[in-house]
Amino acid sequence: MSRISVYTKFFLIVFANGLLFFTLPDPLVLAITLYFCSFQFVDGRIERGWHWVCITAVFAVGTYLAYLTPDNLIGHYVLFFFVGLGKLLPVVVVGAYISGTTKVSELICTLRRLHVPQWIVIPLSVLFRFFPTIRNDYRQIRMAMKFRGIATTTGDMFRHPVRTMEFIYVPLLNNATNVATDLASASLTRGLTDPGPKTSLIQVRFTLLDASMCLMGLILMGGALYVVM
Amino acid sequence: MNSLKAKDLINIGIYSALYFVCMALATFLTGFVTGLILPGFSSLFVPGIVALVAGPVYMLLTDRVPRFGAITIMGLLMGLFFLVSGHFALSFIPYVACGFLADVLQTIVGKARSNGLRYLSYLIFAFGSTGPVMPLWFMKNAYVASLTRKGKSQAYIDGVFAHISGPTLIVCVSVTIVGALLGAWTGTMIVNRHFARTPAEA
């Protein structure tokens, strides 16, 4: 379970996306990106943390060097690559952190706590629950296809795209319909539609660690605002 | 939204998952092909390819949950995904807006019957996935800033982008329209052929 609460992660999303609207001096952007990377370390994902620090460093050096590139097509390509993608880097760092550390149950628990209506929470939890089923179904469908000598190789799949689409879609969608029926009865039995408050094994709290990380973020944000003004 | 029962909500979740897989697949494929040539520009073709691939899922959803809210919620869930996954967060907005519009057309105006309106609603929904194109605008701004810093004049910069902005938008829109219409057509075909609705299914 993540040591940082989902609330702080919401704050990170707002921060990283707000950053897109402004052009800030490179050192400040670098500091903010490293701040985003630091969350990986706080959560004990040391290797991932270094991984993202390295990428940040490559982009920082790349952007610096790209200014020295010659004025031809390749130079422009390199400049666009580093500057353009580098602009999106903070958002990607935050996204990677959040999708890597947030458990579905944490997210659902937080959304329930924020009184998000049932008609969002129920489809959302079903959605996540359904991904493994799709993967499993797909594997079995492919096996069944190969067994009957249809599209035995990946190349064959691309040679007859319409046929492939139909052969994969129809069983997949058919099964989805069946699963929906099963899942509905199962979850109704377990009281999914009960309007009362839900209990949860997972506790989501805004801790001291959250507060200190947010404070650090606010300081950087303040610095950025000061520069913009 | 209150007319949706628990079973409808579960159905919506399942079809959203399938739609999501289609989207991931389309993004991966286009990213793989065009991403190497022009980084970031692959998102121009993504909406069209998504629309092409996800037709059957959408058509089946409108068939199985013919009530107001289904498409809106699906759009909302896709938007939520963009919000938390390292895409530009405002990509959220087109999906929700397009989902709502498509929903109104499909269930209120068309009463979930008319085939033409179903095509049209799918076309509108397809434009929801144009959200990830928006970062290109930010990338462009960053690029312009870097060119200015490199000491280029404004005229030079305008010259660089004169050929890019207009046509790319047209390409993006027309690819999306063609993809959506083809997707709607194949989708309707598959659904009619294999999922003819059995009566009295509540």
Structure tokens at A73: 């097509």
Tell me which chain B residue has its CA closest to the CA of residue A179. B14
Place of tokens 């996800």: B54
Tokens read off for A131: 């991904």
* Partner-chain contact A86 B77, CB within 8 Å: no
Q: Which residues contact A176 (CB under 8 A, 6 or more apart)?
A: A130, B14, B15, B18
Structural domain total, chain B = 1
Verify whether the Cβ–Cβ distance B10 to A187 is below 8 Å: yes
- Three-class SS string for B69-92? CHHHHHHHHHHHHHHHCCCCHHHH
Instruction: Give the integer Cα–Cα distance in Å for B86 and A102.
Output: 13
Kindly report the nearest CA distance between residue B146 and chain A, in angstroms. 7
Tell me, what DSSP letter sits at residue B201? -
Q: Tell me which residue range forms the domain holding B106.
A: 6-194
Could you tell me if residue B199 is inside a domain?
no
CA neighbours closer than 13 Å in the CB half-sphere of residue B134: 19
Taking CA atoms, what residue in B is nearest to A85? B139
For residue A131, give Cα distances in angstroms to A128, B63, B122.
Answer: 6, 22, 24
Q: How many CB atoms lie within 10 A of CB B25?
A: 14
Give domain status of residue B53, yes or no: yes
In whole angstroms, what is the distance from residue A11 CA to residue A121 CA? 21
User: What interface predicted TM-score (ipTM) does this complex get?
Assistant: 0.76
Cα angle A111, B127, B59; round to 5 = 80
Q: Tell whether B142 is covered by a domain.
A: yes
Mean pLDDT of chain B: 77
pLDDT at residue A226, rounded to an integer: 87
Q: Which of B4, B14, B61, B134 to mutate to test the interface with A (most CBs of A within 10 A)?
A: B14
Q: For B201, left (φ over 0), alpha (ψ -120 to 50), or beta? A: beta
Quick check: B192 contacting A, CB < 8 Å? Answer: no
Interface of B with A in 136-165 (CB under 8 A): 138-143, 145-147, 149-150
Q: Summarize pLDDT for A91-129 with one digit per residue, the tens.
A: 888 888 888 888 888 888 888 888 888 888 888 888 888
Residues of A in contact with B69 (CB under 8 A): 119
Q: Domain limits of chain A?
A: 6-103+204-228, 126-189
Question: How close B114 comes to chain A (CA, Å)?
Answer: 23
Task: Tell me if B202 is assigned to some domain.
Answer: no
A64-101: pLDDT as tens digits: 877 776 666 677 777 777 877 788 888 888 888 888 88
Examine residue B33 and state whether it is found in any structural domain, yes or no.
Answer: yes
| Contacting residues of A for B15, CB less than 8 Å apart | 176
pLDDT range class, residue A50, cuts 50, 70, 90: very high
Contacts of residue A117, Cβ cutoff 8 Å, sequence gap at least 6: B1
Question: Which of A20, A134, A179 faces B21 most closely, judged by CB atoms?
Answer: A134
